[in-house]
Amino acid sequence: MDPLYREIILEHSQNPQNFGVLNNADIDVTEINPLCGDSIRLTLAIEKGRVKKILFFGVGCAISQASASLFTEEMKNKSLAEIKKMSEQDVLDLLGVTLTPARMACALLVYKTGKKIRLPF
Amino acid sequence: MKKDFPIFTNYPELVYLDSAATSQKPQAVISAVSEFYTTYNANIHRGIYDLSQHATGLFEEVRKKVADFIGAKRSSEIIFTSKTTESLNLVAFGWAKKHLKKGDIVVLSEMEHHANIVPWQQLKKEIGIELYYLSVNKEYNLDYKKIASLPLAMTKKIKLLSFTHVSNVLGTINSLEEIISYFKKLNPEMKICIDAAQSVPHIQIDVSKIDCDFLAFSAHKMLGPTGVGVLYAREELLENMDPLVFGGGMIRKVTKENVTWADAPDKFEGGTQNLEGVIGLGAAIEYLQKIGFETIRRHEQELIEYVIEKFAQNKDIVLFGHRDISSRLGIFSFAIEKVHPHDIAEVLNRNHIAVRAGHHCAQPLMDVLNVAGTVRASFYFYNTKSDIDRLCEGIEEVKKVFRK
């Protein structure tokens, strides 16, 4: 098995979960990785302070796409306060692989996008 | 050739295909830098003592060497900067800001590096110039004749054409003489600025034949040290050009209230220069001249032909660039469908193949190509056919990992 492109990463990058853009989203944030130009946009529908629906949209490498897919899965039904508490390590743990510093930025792009959510929104 | 470059001895598995970003350095350049520090180190233009005068002599000899190297008539037309980016900023803010006014047009192209876009956007914000981009056609060449379709009132407002000699993404060599003479016929008064960062390492440049007013390049892409750029500027323009950096070394006289500038090129070189870098550039020029540009080009064209042949055999590779070896350099941007450039570069890196992945500081061109980024393999004369074989093997591995 490939040490970096594990099954879960290939699966999530080639068939990402929660991919798309929500119409009438309550929250709509985008972040760019200036190194490569990749971007991720998160759109969320919020109900009673919890994530009812979340979609991500963007072009990116396998690492950033898989990370966004896994991260958005994780965010579902969480409260915004819980999401704000998530750390970089939590995101890296979802991927479960060791990354070089250059690829760390790919994995954390969705996290940085999430950080742009302002509370109260 | 690789034996002249210590990095290939110290890292024998390395397949270095990122020379468009920076070249490797031959021992001759490394030794020249080291020798400067161990034998001649002193600040220049200041000391009365022998050591300083000797260092000054060596530094100014390189200026003369650069002038001869690119066919400039006078050493004073050679300004040392810190990089191509700074050289282009000097054209924008030292020359254009002084001579252009609101509504004047600067023509750029869609294949520019950000270094030849962002300074002009900034100048647009400051003084209200307009920017016009020459488009890139399907053959990856500049569609420059479109400019003739503009109304005369507009072409008369073109004060500067600033474009790249070679695209750092596509490898296209723009035909300078053809394009410049075409523009000069439209408006003989306009000035011409060439970003030669990618071409100077590979092709003999002669500014007396190109008929340009400015030409910018860097030492580090042509075997020299980082931190040294060059701006060639035609002598008659130098007097009415402002410096970007103010301070020591660039003045004639300073009082509490006033200052008069030194003559060019000193006027543009405020503060202590990158002495060892310039000395290293001198050694790089000597090294290149010893091999000769004909030999370099011949070897590189063999490599280019081989890459084109190998890529054509691989149905999964999409090449962004044309296949005419007479008008391209060994800069190959490509994609493999459904695999992101970063992932390709990652797998290649495991096999010690160094390529660049991303937008290559040319995002407007990426928009034209309709991609977020590409993988770029760029060659120099120290590369070999076996490097290309290794690249192709690496690409096969990429396909395996991503089940293509």
A residues 20-39 lying closer than 8 A (beta carbon) to B = 35-38
**Which residues in chain B have their CB less than 8 angstroms from residue A34's CB?**
none
Are A5 and B403 within 8 A, CB to CB? no
Count structural domains, chain B: 2
pTM of the complete model: 0.93
Q: Which domain holds residue B353?
A: 2-17+293-401
> How many CB pairs (< 8 A) connect A and B?
44
- Please report how the helices B275-291 and B50-70 are oriented relative to each other, as an axis angle in degrees rounded to 10: 40
Domain check: are B194 and B274 in the same one? yes
Q: What is the pLDDT of residue B343?
A: 95
Give how far A37 is from chain B: nearest CA, Å.
Answer: 6
Query: Confidence class of residue A59 from pLDDT cuts 50, 70 and 90?
Result: confident
B22 occurs within a structural domain: no
Are B366 and A37 within 8 A, CB to CB? yes
> Residue range B363-383: average pLDDT?
95
Domain check: are B57 and B206 in the same one? yes
> Residue range B98-114: average pLDDT?
98
Query: Confidence class of residue B46 from pLDDT cuts 50, 70 and 90?
Result: confident
Reply yes or no on whether the pLDDT at A119 is more than 80. Answer: no
Are A2 and B342 within 8 A, CB to CB? no
Domains of chain A by start residue, with CATH: 7-115 (3.90.1010.10)
Are A36 and B403 within 8 A, CB to CB? no
Decide which of B289, B306, B329 is a domain's last residue.
B289
Give how far B342 is from chain A: nearest CA, Å.
Answer: 6
- Please tell me whether the peptide bond between B6 and the residue prior to it is cis, using omega within 30 degrees of 0: no
Go through B358-389 and write b for each residue having 16 or more CB atoms within 10 A of its CB, e for each that does not. bbbbbbbbbebbebbbbbbbbbbbbbbeebbe
- Please give the structure tokens belonging to residue B1: 């050739």
Question: What DSSP line would sit under B206-262, residue for residue?
Answer: -HHHHT-SEEEEESGGGTS-TT-EEEEE-HHHHTT---SS-STTSEEEE-SS-EEEP
- CATH at B176: 3.40.640.10
- Our answer to whether residue B361 is catalytic in this structure is yes
Q: Is the Cβ of B364 closer than 8 Å to some Cβ of chain A?
A: no
Give the residue among B336, B356, B334, B338 at the shortest CA–CA distance from B396.
B336
Q: Mutation test of the interface with chain B: which of A7, A9, A35, A36, choosing the one with the most B Cβ atoms within 10 A?
A: A36
B123 occurs within a structural domain: yes
Residue of B nearest to A61 (CA): B340
The values of phi and psi at residue B52, to 5°, are -65, -40
Domain check: are B174 and B316 in the same one? no
Q: Which of A37, A59, A61 sits opposite B343 (nearest CB)?
A: A61
**Which residues in chain A have their CB less than 8 angstroms from residue B346's CB?**
4, 61, 103
Decide which of B266, B289, B312 is a domain's last residue.
B289
- CATH at B308: 3.90.1150.10
> Residue range A81-107: average pLDDT?
90
Residue with the larger pLDDT of the pair B249 and B230? B230
Q: What percent of chain B has pLDDT over 70?
A: 100
B23 occurs within a structural domain: no
B379 occurs within a structural domain: yes
Beta-sheet pairing, B331-336 with B374-378: antiparallel
**Which residues in chain B have their CB less than 8 angstroms from residue A4's CB?**
346
Q: Do residues B78 and B63 lie in contact, with contact meaning Cβ atoms separated by under 8 Å?
A: yes
Q: Which of A10, A38, A103 sits opposite B346 (nearest CB)?
A: A103
Q: Do residues B236 and B95 lie in contact, with contact meaning Cβ atoms separated by under 8 Å?
A: no
Give how far A120 is from chain B: nearest CA, Å.
Answer: 33
Reply yes or no on whether the pLDDT at B6 is more than 80. Answer: yes
Are B342 and A106 within 8 A, CB to CB? yes
Q: Write out pLDDT tens, residues B110-169.
A: 999 999 999 999 999 999 999 999 999 999 999 999 998 999 999 999 999 999 999 999
Mean of pLDDT over chain B: 96
Q: Write out pLDDT tens, residues B207-248.
A: 999 999 999 999 999 999 999 999 999 999 999 999 999 998
